[in-house]
Amino acid sequence: MYKIKIINYQPYEYELFQKTLDKLGQEGFSCQDLSFISLFKKVKQPVYYKIDFYKSEGKSRFEKMENRNHFLNYYIERDYQPIYSKRGMYVFKGQKECDTKERHYDNLETIISSQRIKTIFLSMLFLFLICFLSFLVMKTATIDSWLTYGITFVYIGIFLGLLTLFYRQMIGFSSYNQLFKNIRQSFSRLKKWRLIYIICAMISLSCFAGGLVEDIFNARSYTLKEHPIITLEKLGISGKSTIQTKKHSSFTVPHYYSALEMTNDETILLTKEYQLNSPTKSKELFKNFIDHPDQYLCTRIEVKENIIYGYHEDTLTTLIFQKEKSVIIVSFSFQLSTQQLYQIIQFYQ
């Protein structure tokens, strides 16, 4: 029989950690090497775990190693083997209960100061990342950044994850401050803080992973009978061509259709249609395209009623239509004739 446990405890949570290990030990679960994801195997006799702290001390590497070995030997001589060390926190495992003097506070005090500095630095780092990514998303995100439900959940997962890490570090800073003042946090409060952290971490991971999965399965192809579009054939351009179609759904764009048609001589016709929640939303998107022609690779535009004529230098390359709840972009790599221009306008008007 086996149990899998996630081991992610901070030094200030050592009492919670010790209680978890004591319960596993009383149930007879043994682990040879604790890590972030640890496997505990059921054995016939109880297992005993002991947590202690040690910060490397000494002027030379040899002296530091000697002092560390002296610390470890204290437990090894009592048949307790080291199975974990992180952030100055060590875990030892033994097959029988053994009297070991309480060394927690003597050793814990030596790492409090460095951990306080580390937690406040990490708090500021995560706060900076939250602000920076928020600014980056608002500054660079376009309508194409929100075409699926999945990508929305991915963004939520990232931001919630950073907020969770910020919360974790601030709780750590508060707890180390309390220990610095020789004030012990109540067990119930530590347990509540950790529960909030675990719940938020699980939600953020679920949003991120679920968003990625949804994003993969959200994209589907469609037929021209299901959703008609202008094609090279309708424009009188002969030759064999291939059409790749995709449709998406999202909170921002309930229905999105794209089609890329290409011939052997690289004549390209690209169509994108955004079906939004209301005519007001489609007018806002149309206005955004007027203000930012670089989104569809144009250097200048002309606007006539509900049509944007987009030019790359002096060549017409894009037409954008606003119709009821929809905004349609038609881009092409060839020179349009007057008849072809009229056909596209008639098709989407």
First-last CA distance in the chain: 68
Cα–Cα distances in Å, from 82 out to 151, 263, 297, 325? 44, 67, 61, 66
Candidates 10, 11, 7, 189; CA nearest to 109 is 11
Which residues fall within 8 angstroms of residue 335, CB to CB, at 6 or more apart?
A: 315, 316
- The span from the CA of 94 to the CA of 87, in Å, is 22
The pLDDT score that the predictor gives to residue 102 is 57
Q: Which domains occur in the chain, in start order?
A: 2-101 (no CATH), 105-218 (no CATH), 241-348 (3.40.1000)
The pLDDT score that the predictor gives to residue 280 is 96
Candidates 239, 243, 245; CA nearest to 264 is 239
Which residues fall within 8 angstroms of residue 35, CB to CB, at 6 or more apart?
A: 7, 84
Decide: residue 138, CB within 10 A, 0-12 exposed, 13-18 middle, 19+ buried.
exposed
The pLDDT score that the predictor gives to residue 156 is 95
* Residue 23 φ/ψ, nearest 5 degrees: -65, -45
- The span from the CA of 30 to the CA of 3, in Å, is 9
Antiparallel, parallel or unpaired: β 89-94 and 300-304: unpaired
The pLDDT score that the predictor gives to residue 225 is 94
DSSP structural state of residue 1: -
Q: What angle do CA 311, 312, 314 make, to 5 degrees?
A: 70
Structural tokens at position 241: 């061509």
Candidates 252, 314, 259, 247; CA nearest to 288 is 252
The pLDDT score that the predictor gives to residue 101 is 64
The pLDDT score that the predictor gives to residue 164 is 96
Kindly report whether the global pTM for this prediction surpasses the value 0.85: no
Q: What is the pLDDT along the chain (349 residues), one digit of tens a residue?
A: 899 999 999 988 988 999 999 999 999 999 999 999 999 999 999 999 999 988 877 778 888 888 888 889 989 988 999 999 988 899 999 998 877 665 655 667 777 778 888 999 999 999 999 999 999 998 888 999 999 999 999 999 999 999 999 999 999 999 888 887 777 778 888 999 999 999 999 999 999 999 999 988 878 999 999 999 999 999 999 888 999 999 999 999 999 999 999 998 889 999 999 999 999 999 999 999 999 999 999 999 999 989 999 999 899 999 999 999 999 999 999 999 999 999 999 999 8
The pLDDT score that the predictor gives to residue 97 is 85
Summarised one tens digit per residue, pLDDT across range 226-262 is 999 999 999 999 888 999 999 999 999 999 999 999 9
Residue in this structure with the two tokens 């939600």, named with its chain if needed: 203
The pLDDT score that the predictor gives to residue 105 is 55
The pLDDT score that the predictor gives to residue 106 is 63
